Amino acid sequence: MRGREAAGLLVASLDREAYVERFLRGYANDYNRPAIITQPILHRELLGTVRREALLAMATHVDELAPRFLGLGESVTGGASGRGSAARTKVRGKSSMQKKSRADAKRAALPKRGTEIARQSAAEAAALNLFREEFFAALGQALRWTQAEFEEFARDYDLYEAAGAHADNSARGARAAASGPFVDRCGLLIDPSMLEQARRAAGKFETQLRAATLQSLKRVFAARREN
């Protein structure tokens, strides 16, 4: 149920706090680009498209944070490259070369322990997959997506995910303000003629979205612990 709760709270906070509206108005005022908010058709289109990009960015961050909140081990989290395509609820195994050591010899003598670890890893992977399935199903319901709209979102999510597949999670937050799919796509949407300016603004906005995502997950998991 936590995946469903996280999706509902994410959408609610994005709209309740009017993050997209405030971002567009702030950009228009700060950089003297009044057309963004004074032309009704343009403003309405930007609200919809930037909101969608914001949801992509927030969903990506949920997938980064979920293993930590679920208390899963490194064998499941495995950094960004271990996430797989969360929108399609796949978990790809992360392969790695293991160095031989005394511990290896001890494990060879204790096959039952190895079996227990394998079972634990499988259980953790299942828990993460379930959270992802619940999250994306609830997100689609909250936004009243058609199947085609969900598939389009999943394809774009894959692009977001691929862009960060080789990035270290601990450094990704710092880089988010300077680069990434949200920064690039949002910059092109709001002000293609002043792209670098728009990208910098989008980077700051993404930082706000990441903070809002973190707070939403804290609320969901704190509530579950209290219950």
Distance, CA of 153 to CA of 92 (rounded, Å): 20
Per-residue confidence (pLDDT) for residue 143, from 0 to 100 = 93
72-83 pLDDT per residue, tens: 865 555 444 344
Q: pLDDT tens, 14-57? A: 999 999 999 999 999 999 999 999 999 999 999 999 999 999 99
pLDDT tens for 90-112 read 333 333 323 334 444 333 333 44
Please give the pLDDT value at position 124: 83
Quick check: 83 and 132 in contact, CB under 8 A?
no
Q: Is the pLDDT of residue 84 over 50?
A: no
Closest by CA position to 197, among listed 4, 10, 28, 5: 28
Lookup: tokens for 175: 């880089």
Task: Give 147's contacts (C-beta < 8 A, 6+ positions apart).
Answer: none
Task: Give the C-alpha separation, 131 to 147, whole Å.
Answer: 20
pLDDT at 154: 93
Residues 6 or more apart whose Cβ sits within 8 Å of residue 187: 195, 196, 198, 199, 201, 202
Task: Please give the share of the chain, as a percent, with pLDDT higher than 90.
Answer: 61
- What type of residue sits at position 86? A
**Arithmetic mean of pLDDT, 139-152:** 92
Residues 171-180 as b or e (16 or more Cβ within 10 Å = b): ebbeebbeeb
Q: What is the dihedral of CA 115, 120, 123, 129, to 10 degrees?
A: -120
The predicted pLDDT at position 93 comes to 32
**pLDDT tens-digit map of 166-212:** 455 444 544 445 679 999 999 999 999 999 999 999 999 999 999 99
* Mean pLDDT value of segment 115-135: 80
| Mean per-residue pLDDT over the chain, rounded | 80
Answer whether 80's CB lies under 8 Å from 165's CB: yes
